[in-house]
Amino acid sequence: MRKLLIAANWKMYKTPTESTAFLTSFFPLIKNDTFAEIVLCPAMPCLPALVDAARAKPVFVGAQNMHWKNEGAFTGETSPVMLSAIGATHVLIGHSERRQYFNETDTTVNLKLKAALAHSLIPIVCVGEKLEEREAGLTRNVLELQTSIALEGIDSAIAAPIVFAYEPVWAIGTGRTATPEIAEDAHKIIRAQIGKSLTPALATSIRILYGGSVKPDNAKSLCCIGDIDGALVGGASLNPQSFAEIVHNAKP
């Protein structure tokens, strides 16, 4: 049984005060929704306050990015040791905006994934094709390549916590969503690659989320069908009511 995971990616929005105010409004709306693992990923400066506010609540707090080294002369970066120390439990890795604007590559995704596992952070690894790749018929190649490089050298014995998020780049922040069929096909490709890179058992147990313009009205059809085990939500997660509605609508 794969537990649904619904994660909010707040990107570069919300101050620490705004992030804890969100939780104050959001928590009463979802406090009985134990069918899903709910994860809030705020900007780095909000992590300590939000971790504190979420203590003893069934809401997890994750980072949007991290470096793979424990420490070092890397100005502006945050290490997995630091994330663990402040009580973050999850971390997004390889979001397409990191790939597009900050030179994240499949190789750095692989290094970060290994570092997250080594520090008991639950990694949510984002993969997805660009519009031109889809139009050129390259979706399968892109997804297989991104997934296989992410998993290179990962020991199957410690891989169970890994989560993937299929985020077609053309659907992020555009209001365009994949159809449930497109999402299902992509999830099958990723799952098959997990089977080849790790083990068939892990291909069955590892969760794969859908991300890209998830909203309350499409959550039902996109988040909990067949191979889809939840959602990674950007824009529609910024408002407590709309994110709570997504959680409710995703209930199997």
Tokens 């096909």, residue? 185
Q: Please identify which residue in 123, 211, 230, 240 interacts with ligand PGA, judged by CB under 6 A.
A: 211
Distance CA 73, CA 77 (A): 9
Tokens 């945050």, residue? 78
Name the token pair of 142: 């892109």
Q: Please identify which residue in 139, 213, 218, 249 interacts with ligand PGA, judged by CB under 6 A.
A: 213
Give the 3-state secondary structure of residue 62.
strand
Q: Please identify which residue in 42, 80, 234, 240 interacts with ligand PGA, judged by CB under 6 A.
A: 234
- 214 lies in the site for ligand PGA, by CB under 6 A: yes
Distance CA 7, CA 9 (A): 6
Which one from 67, 95, 119, 187 is the annotated catalytic residue?
95
Q: At 141, which helix (H) or strand (E)?
A: helix 139-150
Cβ-contact 226, 187 below 8 angstroms = yes
- 219 lies in the site for ligand PGA, by CB under 6 A: no
Nearest-CB residue for ligand PGA: 234
Q: Please identify which residue in 212, 216, 230, 240 interacts with ligand PGA, judged by CB under 6 A.
A: 212
- Does 95 qualify as catalytic in the annotation? yes
- 64 lies in the site for ligand PGA, by CB under 6 A: no
Question: What does the binding site for ligand PGA look like in residue numbers (CB under 6 A)?
Answer: 9, 167, 172-173, 211-214, 232-236
Instruction: Indicate which residues carry an active-site annotation.
Output: 95, 167
